Amino acid sequence: MANTSDLKVGTVIKYNGENAVVTDLEFRKPGKGGAFYKTKLRYLLSNRFAEHTFNSGESIEIIKVETRDFQYLYRDGNNFIFMDTQTFDQIYVDENFLSDDSRFLKENENLQIVFDGDDVMQVIMPNHVNLRVEFTEPGLKGDTATNASKPAKLETGAEIKVPLFVNEGDLIRIDTKNGSYIERVKE
């Protein structure tokens, strides 16, 4: 058994009978009382989030997992098909294992998949992706002075808000965690 000092962001633990990944971790030592770890957990099967506070030194069960590199090939109904970059084996992953950031997933994108034995536990998207703008209203010269934004449809079909100066055909960098525009990418 491990204890709370072994917790890190990305650690998979068994909590309330379910496997959960630590998505946020904060250690606090108040002036009164004992130290504690405030965590945000994402349950892997149900994909729901919860917050929990662990007392410092509390016993926890850490699940040993293996992370491997994969390449996204295509979508087939409710399944995403990935290829192992080492063995070239293809696996089918149900859409429930992918979070909402899968809307930014394009063919041939590299990512990581977490396994518990042969069972898929989690698909880890890259933090940033570069995508082409398929459709947006044309920008006007001088539209960089304000923080105004407009909707844009990306090559994956996802829709996000972009600054007014972004035009169709531009390559832009997206933060996959919150779906926000970061910058234009020079080609």
Domains of the chain by range and CATH? 2-62 (2.30.30.30), 66-124 (2.40.50.140), 128-184 (2.40.50.140)
Banded model confidence at residue 176, pLDDT cuts 50, 70, 90: confident
DSSP character at residue 132? E
Q: What is the pLDDT of residue 101?
A: 72
Query: Are 58 and 4 in contact, with CB atoms under 8 Å apart?
Result: yes
Buried b (16+ CB within 10 A) or exposed e, 54-70: beeeeebebeebeeeeb
Express each pLDDT in 61-109 by its tens digit. 998 888 899 999 998 888 899 999 999 999 999 887 776 778 888 899 9
pTM of the model as a whole: 0.72
Question: Which residue in 109, 73, 107, 110 sits closest to 93, CA to CA?
Answer: 73
Query: Are 80 and 99 in contact, with CB atoms under 8 Å apart?
Result: no
Rounded to 5°, angle at Cα 182 from 177 and 184: 140
pLDDT at 142 over 70: no
Banded model confidence at residue 118, pLDDT cuts 50, 70, 90: confident
- 123-138 average pLDDT score: 89
Banded model confidence at residue 123, pLDDT cuts 50, 70, 90: confident
Q: What is the pLDDT of residue 159?
A: 92
Question: Which residue in 84, 88, 87, 89 sits closest to 113, CA to CA?
Answer: 84
- Residues facing residue 160 across a β-bridge: 152
Q: Quote the tokens at residue 33.
A: 């009382």
